Amino acid sequence: MKTLKWLFPIVILGLLLHMPAMGQENAEEKVYNEVDQMPEYPGGIEKLKAFIIENVSYPEEAKKEGIQGKVFISFTVNKNGEVIDAEVARGVHTALDEEALRVVDLMPVWTPGKEDGKVVNVRFTIPVQFKLDSKEKE
């Protein structure tokens, strides 16, 4: 019976040593900022610009107040090419920030990024420009 009393704590200790530490990032789930091959929007940067232009609706509140600016949205393109974890990296106004986030959340699947030939999660930041023409400012 004495052997079992000593064996149990040793087994538990062994299990704990083989478990990843809480909060430790799994190497497979690491999110990179720069990789050998960055993620790509389907059709490239010009198609991305067109997508944003087609889908952004200038918030009426911001129009009335004459608010303009560039909202920077940061998001992760995961291994499957899905856009996840979008957030405002640098905002202008709540209405513009929310609209930019809404449009980013609508994005289709991207070609995922690669590091050392392996598909990985990559953090990406894009600007969404809100600019009123001279008629809308008045």
Convert the pLDDT of each residue in 58-113 to its tens digit.
Answer: 999 999 999 999 999 999 999 999 999 999 999 999 999 999 999 999 999 999 99
Q: What are the backbone angles phi and psi of residue 59, rounded to the nearest 5°?
A: -60, 135
Higher-scoring residue by pLDDT: 23, 71: 71
| This prediction's pTM | 0.76
The yes/no answer on whether domain 25-137 falls in CATH 1.10.3210.10 is no
pLDDT in tens, 26-56: 445 899 999 999 999 999 999 999 999 999 9
- Angle (nearest 5°) at CA 65 between 64 and 66: 95
